[in-house]
Structure 1
């Protein structure tokens, strides 16, 4: 009897692992800039974003030195002009995880000094889960 119970537990755990691995609706964590992170001059963030598929429910992770950078979520016009005033969101922990909850374009810039003008900015397009 104990052997049958152990076998059932193992099968149940195996099924749960397989469901988690094969589940296409699982969230993806996108680390901005991959290993380089969020910094000046190391990454073409638009090229990086073009290589990703962002979906509702995913996470956008920014890793950076909090004494030197931050992350502002802004509107399109602010993104294009590197306008730091009135951001939609402000992050400064050095390790920020932003939940992507809506479809459409989203815009992020560094609000420190002239970092945005040095192309420390990224726009992404979030699509619905299929």
Structure 2
């Protein structure tokens, strides 16, 4: 049997830390890239830029790329590869859709589909992730 009196345990501080931790975990948002359109060849060139401008991304959130298996993929790339649709040698992070990417660092993040012609038809999204406030 454990003698609880031997622990130096401050219940109000413990509860405050527990609530703060739960609030942080519950505040994470899953963003469905492209909303109802999903991750596909966009209807017009500015589609994903407009979609990104309507959302606030924070460390701890995730991006959900909704696409049918073998139709597209997702690679996180440097801005230069994003701008030039450079797909050679990039690391694909989601090969089989749908799938999610956890946003673990703040700053600019660039994602493209490496399937032939996808990036050139503007199937790419650039986001800015806000730093964690905790």
TM normalised by structure 2 equals 0.75
What is the aligned partner in structure 1 of residue 118 from structure 2?
Answer: 115
Uncovered stretches (5+) of structure 1, i.e. residues with no partner: 1-18
Supply the RMSD in Å over aligned alpha carbons.
Answer: 2.0
Corresponding residue pairs, total: 111
Q: Is the 8 A contact 1:56 1:102 kept in 2?
A: yes
Alpha-carbon distance between aligned partners in 2 of 1:114 and 1:89, rounded to the nearest angstrom: 16
TM normalised by structure 1 equals 0.78
Deviation at 1:75, TM superposition (A): 0.6
Deviation at 1:67, TM superposition (A): 1.9
Q: Is the 8 A contact 1:61 1:96 kept in 2?
A: yes
Alpha-carbon distance between aligned partners in 1 of 2:67 and 2:112, rounded to the nearest angstrom: 13
Alpha-carbon distance between aligned partners in 2 of 1:86 and 1:58, rounded to the nearest angstrom: 27
Alpha-carbon distance between aligned partners in 2 of 1:106 and 1:115, rounded to the nearest angstrom: 18
What is the aligned partner in structure 2 of residue 23 from structure 1?
Answer: 23
What is the aligned partner in structure 1 of residue 36 from structure 2?
Answer: 35
Alpha-carbon distance between aligned partners in 2 of 1:41 and 1:76, rounded to the nearest angstrom: 20
Alpha-carbon distance between aligned partners in 1 of 2:86 and 2:74, rounded to the nearest angstrom: 13
1:60-99 matches, within 5 Å, as 60-99=63-102
Deviation at 1:42, TM superposition (A): 3.4
Alpha-carbon distance between aligned partners in 2 of 1:31 and 1:53, rounded to the nearest angstrom: 12
Deviation at 1:88, TM superposition (A): 4.2
Alpha-carbon distance between aligned partners in 2 of 1:24 and 1:54, rounded to the nearest angstrom: 14
Q: Is the 8 A contact 1:75 1:88 kept in 2?
A: no
Alpha-carbon distance between aligned partners in 1 of 2:123 and 2:97, rounded to the nearest angstrom: 15
Uncovered stretches (5+) of structure 2, i.e. residues with no partner: 1-18
